[in-house]
A and B are shown apart, each in its own frame.
Chain A
Amino acid sequence: MSETPSRYGGFFTESPRSGILGWVTSTDHKRIGLLYLGCIVTMFIVGAVLGLALRLQLFEPGTGIMEAQTYNATFTVHGVIMIFLFIIPSIPAAFGNLLLPIQIGARDVSFPRVNLLSWYCYIAGAILAVTAIFSGGGPPDTGWTFYVPFSTQTTTNVNLAVSAAFMLGFSSILTGINFVTTIHRLRCKGMGWGKLPLFVWTLYATAWIQVLATPMIGITLALIFVERIFGAGLFDVAKGGDPILFQHLFWIYSHPAVYIMILPGMGVISEIIPVFARKPLFGYWAMALSSLAIAFAGSLVWAHHMYASGMSDMAIMIFSFLTFIVAIPSAIKIFNWVSTLYKGSIQLAPPMLYALSFIFLFAIGGLGGLALGAAAADIHLHDTTFVVGHFHYTMFGGTGFAFFAALHYWLPKFFARMYNHKIATLAWALIFVGFNVTYMAMQAVGIQGMPRRYYDYLPQFGPLNMVATIGSWILAVGLIIMFVNLWRGIRYGTPVGKNPWGGATLEWEVPSPPPMENFGAEDPVVTRGPYDFKGVIADEP
């Protein structure tokens, strides 16, 4: 982070404070974005190691490397870290902070200090989550969903884990408030709503969900606290409570949360595809409005997680119907990305490889989602590893690959150095193959009836579990190569200019790395669209 090109350091060298204080007290959106990025990548690596341990345990039937309780704790901590500390903040908090103000021609977000506060809330949440593993009655073993009545009765350290998620919710809300206000109030001259980059549109839709839905999870988690400490009986049938009510409250947030996770990823893909197809994005307004439609419709489908919970048949029918509606705006995005590629001058640079993989993997995950959204199929598939495979296709194949695409697309901008393309392509190939081997096998064994969250299984599930575990090793090798290559790239890579890819959005018009306050003495004036590539050429390599 400290070693930047000697000729010009941009925001790395222009901070009023030097050293570590210059970072942890900075209100500059780019520094906060990089703080988030460092923490998020660290958390991803921790979560990935736990995921590998889970796969290793399932390599063959019988007790392998861990006992049942350790397995339960491991998948819970894997889930909590990956959901609350990696996927939810990954693109909005890291790349949203890095890019949103520059892309709309602003010098910072509306509330820079609140922005820094959101990072401290994230750190506090992370510390609480890690402390929960090593203190009290041991690491929580409820799964990341904290379902009652188990979560109110287990003696493991649920209280601290719930507090961590509560604190992380505050971080998310603060980021959401900042982004909504910034997009409304700080757009530069000429930056009308029709000229916003699609990444900004998706951040806007995401920010609204963050503001409106996150308080629900805060309240729900607080109620677990009330149950555990005071025995209030809100979810206890013996005291007149309703355990299914918990699932409603939990999913009212947590289903929209999957759109908090995926929408910014879709924004990244919408930025990358036109640049590497050298064509304007097909159907700009359809893409922009479909983001809002996904955010709205996605907020009304939460109970499709609950078909097997004992919920009423009337509710099952209604939520099944509503779930299919979400497929429409999602399909609009897929078709428009493919239409953008049609007759384009496609360049298979590393960011584009990840973006194309996103479309492929997200389509598989999305179609699996329709199978799960249909109540009849869901009864068979519920709580099998098919659900785990589906979730990873959408969240890892979707958001994860979009995050990797964003790393390869924008890191050269902020560090002014380029990574090795051949190694990046090799890493992508390993990740893509490893991913599909792992999660396709997981989906297949799920259809055969293998339950999720079991540390042991019947012998007939053996072969596919072995395949999935071998796939996870290929995936891990690819990830290691990718991160090492990116790290070496930002430290020692070839210096690049301000526009190495030939992008037309505003971030490619400022120097690399961008200066403090992003623009020179005069604010930018926007006269053309974000995907108008006429006269825009990439710097010579």
Chain B
Amino acid sequence: MTESGHYIVRFRTFVIIWVLLGTLTALTVVASRIDLGAGNIWVALGIAATKSALVIFFFMNLRQESRLFKIGLLVLLSIVAIFIGLTFFDVLYR
């Protein structure tokens, strides 16, 4: 949040995000019980990434921040994706 501006997020938005997070958590549990082979990993990581994005953009107010912070986050996420991706060259080809 910039020093000059103070954004007020409606209470309803927080509740919606909270419900969404709960739903996605339930979806993680359900997806883990269905055998999708290597697809299980992609589903689990996809849901986790979505949940993280909701928390960062809404609860941590990245939505209202400058582009620099958003690019910074994107770079960090790319690095994590590279780490996980390279690890999968081992896990998936064993």
**Main SS of chain B's interface residues?**
helix
Q: Is the CB of B90 within 8 A of A312?
A: yes
Q: Which residue of A lies closest to B88 (CB)?
A: A315
- In the complex, A252→B86 CA distance in Å? 10
Which residue of A is nearest B90, CB measured? A315
Q: How large is the interface on B (under 10, 10 to 19, 20 to 34, 35 or more residues)?
A: 10 to 19
Contacts of A313 in B (CB 8 A): 93
B82 near A311: Cβ-Cβ < 8 Å? no
| CB atoms of B86 and A244 under 8 A apart | no
Report yes or no: B83 in contact with A252, Cβ–Cβ below 8 A: yes
A248 in contact (CB, < 8 A): yes
Q: Are A300 and B82 in contact (CB under 8 A)?
A: yes
Is residue A303 contacting chain B, with contact meaning CB distance below 8 A? yes
B83/A311 in contact, CB under 8 A? no
Assess whether A318 is interfacial by the CB under 8 Å rule. yes
A313–B87 CA distance with the chains assembled, in angstroms: 13
Minimum distance in angstroms from A193 CB to a CB of chain B? 18
Contacts of B12 in A (CB 8 A): none
Instruction: List which B57-94 residues lie within 8 A (CB) of chain A.
Output: 76, 79, 82-83, 86-87, 89-94
Partner of B93 from A242, A248, A312 at Cβ < 8 Å: A312
Give the residues in chain B near A244, CB-CB below 8 Å: 90
Chain B residues near A242 (CB, 8 Å)?
A: 91
Contacts of B90 in A (CB 8 A): 244, 248, 303, 311-312, 314-315
Give the residues from 314 to 330 in chain A that come closer than 8 angstroms, CB to CB, to chain B: 314-315, 318-319
Interface residues as binary, A519-532 with B (CB distance below 8 Å gives 1, 0 otherwise): 00000000000000
Chain A residue nearest to B79 in the complex (CB): A212
Q: Which residues of A contact B (CB under 8 A)?
A: 212, 216, 242, 244-245, 248, 252, 299-300, 303, 310-315, 318-319
Known: A248-B87, A311-B94, A318-B86. 15 other contacts (CB 8 A): A216-B83, A242-B91, A244-B90, A252-B83, A252-B87, A303-B86, A303-B90, A311-B90, A312-B89, A312-B90, A313-B93, A314-B90, A314-B93, A315-B89, A315-B90
